[in-house]
Structure 1
Amino acid sequence: MKTDLPHSETFPSRVKNFKKVGITKWVLGVFLLGFVAAGSYIVYRQIVIVPRQAAQRQALSVPVERLNLSVTVAANGTIKPERSINVSPKSSGRLKSLLVKEGDWVKQGQIIAYMDDSNLQGQLIEAKGRLAEAQANLQKLLAGNRVEDIAQAQAELQNTQATLEEATSNLRQNEQLFASGAISSRDLITSRAAYNSAKAAVDRAQQALTLQQNGSRPEDIAQARAQVKQAQGALQNIQTQLNDTAIAAPFSGVVAQKYADPGAFVTPTTAGSSVSGATSNSILALAANNQVVANVSESNIAQIRIGQDISFRADAYPGKTFKGRVIQIAVQSTVEQNVTSFQVKAAILTAPQLLRSGMNVDVDFKAGEVKNAIVVPTVAIARQPNGTGVFVASENNNPVFTPIQTGVTVNDKTQVLSGLTGTEKVFITFPPGTRPQTRTPGIPGMGGSRR
């Protein structure tokens, strides 16, 4: 076989030289590739990383603001009716008819049920008859005796007077006859007795005529008047019992619950008995307009006043806000689980028909407004051994702890009463590894929680 290799260079040496040249080119390629990558990283760092880090450092601090803060007091509450009672009859009996059902709105004085009144109807007729009798007797006594009765008395008087005259004449004749011995003493005694009897009859007739002419006695008239009043009272009592068989709504409200159907036997219950404790003895439960009842802590009650506007949210309507106004503040506190609070009631001003008794609500009382207040993000406030404060950005953007005195907190902003002028920037976050350790005052060496 013929070869083109020079006679002076053998094949092994040729291979060795070739390998040396290949390695040198590979190292040179790697070096050039690394140089290009380093240049690209420098360009990328200057264009992308450095501006991003600068933006991140800038975002770690925010300027202190001056804002008008609307101060609110938050509390938990419940929707409750203004008034809630169990409606029942005044007297025990059977329910004749029920004119409403659960959920119906009724007005004050509206008839909502009737009781059975069959027993009272007979008593009513009897009472009316007794009153009519008493009134007739009184009218008779007031009118006096009739003319016919007076004339009859006068005629009776004249008849007795005539009898008396006859008896008088007989007595005189018999006295004369007795004196002459013509008659016996017995005849004289008989004639004298007839005279006395006739005279007494005249006296009785005269008195009877006088009574007829004078009319009724005042005592009889007074007694008759009393009997009329007694009959009127008895009739009124029966009429009242009949009226009570018509059950009327004591106030305007909604029928919250029904306890009895027509034909059921119901009895009186106390007006203040609660709806939850009602039994079948009542007819139904009636509740007035709903209102907000909130428990405000003792520390915030001084900021609550009558007529104050509120806003509240119900769990049943997420994202919807209702309006109201304070109408009552309790004068006596309540203590539950060692927490003292005061009950505050507020009228519902918007969409009351959507709210039902028993719903839970979150209430915000609008307690006022702080104008031109220096505020910082609440997350920027930290606790240190030397007090509460914020980390203020220095000229070289280093955090410097500055003690402050805080005021009200609204949402994510907190008022600064002293310690800042309003021109500073405060840190809200720190780069990894540079966050100053928050310490709770009085416990050196232990980290506290951010406010």
Structure 2
Amino acid sequence: MHCKVKLESKKADLNSLRIDRSKPVNEYTQARKKKLITWAIVIVVLLIAVIFLVSSWDKLFSPAIEVDLTIVSLQSPSQSDAVLTASGYVVAQRKASVASKGTGRLVYLGVVEGDKVKENQIIARLEDNDIRAQLDEANANLKLYEAQLLEAENNFNRQKELFNQKVISESQLENAETNYRSILASINLAKAQTQSIEVALENMIIRAPFDGTVLTKNADVGEIVAPLAAGINSRGNVVTIADMTSLQVEADVSESNIQKITAGQDCEITLDAYPNIRYAGFVAKIVPTADRSKATVMVKVGFKDYDSKVLPEMSAKVLFLKEQKEIADVNEPPVLMVENSAIVTRGDKKVVYKIINEKAVEIPVITGREFSGYIEIVSGLENGEQVIDNPGKEIVDGISVKEK
């Protein structure tokens, strides 16, 4: 009996070691794949974490130094000598909108934009046929009165002789004298009327008030021109003329900076249209009133010399200089400059620091002339590059930095 029990237990142990063929093989394969994938993901995450820590070690444990940057730029020597910069517009100080004193249809216009005119030159003419007819009538009346004057004068002289001879009465003499004096008055009146009509005829002619250049043409032949009455059906001024020798730059200067400017102070003028051309100038006038709305004072800057490129209403920038500048100095070509504070000495050489990939990179430079707060860069840098301003001893090649 005991042996039988042992045999049965051995059979049970052997049965437990048998592979259960009832379960599919795929379940084992899938379980193994899941484990492999899980371990692969864990390994990838660990690798990413290690790479991140290595690449960000300096950022996490060595924070970047904050720095200011300054720009390397082409500047004229005058720019570094400027005490103030202002912007404004070129304005002709002698300018006129020319209109007629009479009213009529424009029949002749002899100029266009850009034409040069001389003082009293005929620019335009209005229709004047009716005024000429009135002038002819007035001249005819004058001749008639002059013819009557001869008869009245002769009659008055005869009457005086007859009166002296006691042939006629005093009243007859007075009548002759009255007729004579009446014709004289009529002649004077006719002359005044003729003169008045001649003035009206002259008013139909539009002349240039001074030597200048035509800026705009505001009317065309056939349009009605009326003085001080421009409207839908009429024109006020025919042309606008400016004296091109009276050009100045009118610049607005802040009230807080006006004390830096004095009359006669030298300036440098640059037109926005021609940024590479500079003109020597001077403070011609400081207008003795302020603009309340803008808190500025107008300063008029004259040109020492200029060419045909300078035109009215052009925008311009003005540099107010500390020292007197000649025209030749203004024409000096611009040079590459940087602020003095960006240059430091490391060993026996002058260097600047640029930021490349968030690292300070040491760049050796060769410097030239020194200006007010700036120094010329002969080699090592290019126009438009940015360098660290005022680098301290802690700024060395390769250190982590970032812009403030």
Q: Normalised by the shorter chain, which TM-score bucket?
A: 0.5 to 0.7
Residues 123-157 of structure 1: per-residue CA shift (max 9 Å, x gap) = 00111122233445555555563549956997xxx
Match in the other structure for 2:287? 330
> Is 2:207 the partner of 1:237?
no
Distance of 2:139 and 2:112 partners within structure 1:
37
Alpha-carbon displacement from aligned partner over 1:232-255 (angstroms, at most 9, x marks no partner): 221111101111222101222221
- The change in CA–CA distance for 1:225 and 1:331 in structure 2 (over 3 A counts) is farther
Partner residue in 2 for 1:208: 168
User: Where does 1:28-177 land on structure 2 (aligned, <5 Å)?
Assistant: 70=81, 72-138=83-149, 145-147=156-158
* Residue number in structure 2 paired with 1:288: 243
Determine the C-alpha separation between the residues in 2 that align with 1:135 and 1:102.
49
SS in 1 for 2:106: strand
Which runs of 5 or more structure 1 residues have no equivalent in the other structure?
1-68, 155-205, 370-376, 382-390, 394-408, 414-426, 435-447
Corresponding residue for 1:354? 309
Classify 1:321/1:122 alpha carbon distance in 2 versus 1 (closer, same or farther; 3 Å). Answer: same
Q: In structure 1, what residue type is equivalent to 2:301?
A: A
- 8 Å contact from structure 2 (residues 82, 319) kept in 1: no
Q: Which runs of 5+ in 2 are unaligned?
A: 1-79, 325-337, 347-370, 376-388, 397-402
Q: Could you tell me which residue of structure 1 aligns to residue 210 of structure 2? A: 251
* Alpha-carbon contact 1:86-1:284 (below 8 Å) kept: yes
Partner of 1:318: helix, strand, or coil? strand
Q: Residues 213 and 285 of structure 1: is their aligned pair in 2 closer, same or farther, counting only changes over 3 Å?
A: closer
For residues 144 and 328 of structure 1, the distance between their equivalents in structure 2, rounded to whole angstroms, comes to 72
Tell me the number of residue pairs that the alignment of Structure 1 and Structure 2 aligns: 266
Q: Which has the higher strand share?
A: 2
* C-alpha contact (below 8 Å) 1:303/1:367 kept by paired residues: no
Q: Which residue of 1 aligns with 2:274?
A: 317
Relative to structure 1, is the Cα distance of residues 351 and 264 closer, same or farther in structure 2, using a 3 angstrom cutoff?
same
The aligned amino acid for 1:127 is A
Determine what percentage of the aligned residue pairs are the same residue: 27
Q: Does 1:412 align with 2:359?
A: no
CA distance in 2 between counterparts of 1:327 and 1:139 reads 66
Q: Deviations over 1:85-125 (max 9, x none)?
A: 33222122111111111111112211111111111111001
Distance 1:117 1:368, change over 3 A: same
Among 207, 221, 230, which residue is 1:262 paired with?
A: 221
SS at match of 2:130: helix
Q: 1:431-450 maps to which residues of 2 (within 5 A)?
A: 431-432=393-394
CA distance in 1 between counterparts of 2:284 and 2:86 reads: 16
Deviates more, 1:141-150 or 1:290-299: 141-150
Q: Secondary structure at the match of 1:330?
A: strand
Alpha-carbon offset, residue 317 of structure 1: 1.0
Cα shift at 1:303? 3.8
Check whether the contact 1:73–1:367 (CA below 8 A) recurs between aligned residues. no
Q: CA RMSD in A?
A: 4.0
Aligned twin of 2:255? 298
Where 1:321 maps in the other structure, the secondary structure is strand
Whichever residue aligns with residue 90 of structure 1, its letter is: K
Distance 2:108 2:304 in 1: 36
Q: Select the structure of larger CA radius of gyration.
A: 1
Give distance in 1, aligned partners of 2:228 and 2:251.
Answer: 30
Task: Identify the range of structure 1 (140-149 vs 108-117) with the bigger mean alpha-carbon deviation.
Answer: 140-149
Deviation per CA, 1:178-201: give whole Å up to 9, x if none: xxxxxxxxxxxxxxxxxxxxxxxx
Aligned residue in 2 for 1:20: none
Aligned residue type for 2:113:
E
1:285 is displaced (CA, Å) by 2.3
Provide the TM-score with structure 2 as the length reference: 0.55
The whole-number CA distance in structure 1 between the counterparts of 2:373 and 2:139 is 75
Counterpart of 1:322, as a letter, is Y
Instruction: Work out the CA distance in 1 between the residues paired with 2:81 and 2:220.
Output: 54
Match of 1:430 in 2: 392
Q: What CA deviation, in whole Å up to 9, does each residue of 1:48-85 have, x standing for no partner?
A: xxxxxxxxxxxxxxxxxxxxx95543211111222333
1:285-339 superposed Cα distances (whole Å, 9 cap, x missing partner) = 2233232111122233234344333211112112110122333221111134xx4
From the superposition, tell whether residues 228 and 367 of structure 1 become closer, same or farther in structure 2 (CA, over 3 Å).
farther
Indicate if the aligned counterparts of 1:72 and 1:410 stay in contact, CA closer than 8 A. Answer: no
Instruction: State the distance in 1 between where 2:272 and 2:108 align.
Output: 39
Distance 1:227 1:146, change over 3 A: closer
Deviation string 1:320-377 (CA, Å, 9 cap, x unpaired) is 10122333221111134xx4211112233333310222221110123447xxxxxxx9
Q: Is the partner of 1:208 in helix, strand or coil? A: coil
AA in 2 matched with 1:312? I
Distance (Å, rounded) in 2 between the aligned partners of 1:93 and 1:249: 19
The 8 Å contact of residues 78 and 358 in structure 1, kept in 2 or not, is answered as yes
Structure 1 residues 261-299: Cα deviation after superposition (integer angstroms, max 9, x where no partner): 2222222237xx9xxx9x855322223323211112223
Mapping for residues 362-441 of structure 1, pairs under 5 Å? 362-368=317-323, 380=341, 410=372, 412=374, 428-432=390-394
Structure 1 or 2: more helix by fraction: 1
In structure 2, C-alpha distance between the alignment counterparts of 1:266 and 1:72, rounded to whole Å:
50
The whole-number CA distance in structure 2 between the counterparts of 1:320 and 1:306 is 24
- Over 3 Å counting, the alpha-carbon distance change for 1:75 and 1:87 in structure 2 is same
